[in-house]
Amino acid sequence: MFSPRRAIKFLLCASPILGIAALPAHAQDTASGAEKRTRVILGPQLSPSWPGSKDLSFGPYVDVSRARGDAPFAFEAPDESFGSPLIRSGNFAFGPALGFIGSRTAADIGADLPKVGFSFEVGGFAQVNLTPAVRVRVEGRKAVSGHKGWAGEISADYVARHGDDWLFSVGPRVTLGDAKYKTAYFGVTPAASATSGLPAYDVDGGIQSVGVAAGYLRQLSRRWGVAVYGRYDRLVGDAADSPITRQLGSRSQPSVGVALSYTFGGGR
């Protein structure tokens, strides 16, 4: 599946960025009052095919950032959902968060369980920098298709950097879901039990997994750089004990990505 953390960012940002890149440098300066730089990170990543899957699927590892003048690019965790701050006040920021999860069919999972359609999630995030090196972020997203539930995440990151020359981040993750979301991926109704042979299983809303994520960016030249990230989540509670997880999936949920970055704008 395409990562809900990054693929949608590419879809939503690619067109405006290409338009900006096509403008002459003086036109960009006139429109904004100062030169802006845009950094595009693009490469492959492996991530679970759906929540609880034992299989990994290829998808794009994508990030798009903008900065004005010589200011460093703002920190973004490599696994966070798409969303640019709409409100900033001191160390606090708030804005939209979007994501999606690809569909899961009976053929995909290897049992006659109900299909979970493509899930497009819409919500918001709030984040605060407790110190220059520590950021805490909370996300909540409601699926308007597919699982139709609420999903969320609480994260914290320690960030070490030297401007844009290099940046390293690491921190814990807690993934949440309401009963509708978790039932779609980990619950087994009596009807599904009869068709799949799995025991019936009820789930409640709450914590789905705990984990850790780390990322590293390195600028190789003024324009080119590299980016890598890794994340590991472990299903807990009723998501971990589900017969779907135990017999058809995995409690371990790793992700990894590697990419090149290219920065344009900001003069030569």
Mean pLDDT confidence for 207-218:
98
Closest CA to 9 of 115, 83, 111: 83
Q: How many CB atoms lie within 10 A of CB 266?
A: 19
CA distance 128 to 144: 28
pLDDT band at residue 29 under the 50/70/90 scheme = very low
Mean pLDDT confidence for 231-242:
98
Contact between 221 and 24 under an 8 Å Cβ cutoff? The reply is no
Least confident window among 65-69, 159-163, 243-247: 65-69
Percent of the chain clearing pLDDT 90 (strictly above)? 80
Catalogue all structural domains in the chain, each as residue range(s) with its CATH number.
7-265 (2.40.230)
- Given this model, what pLDDT does residue 19 score? 40
Mean pLDDT confidence for 177-204:
96
pLDDT(5) > 80: no
Mean pLDDT confidence for 210-220:
98
pLDDT band at residue 150 under the 50/70/90 scheme = very high
CA distance 241 to 206: 14
Query: What rounded mean pLDDT belongs to the chain?
Result: 88
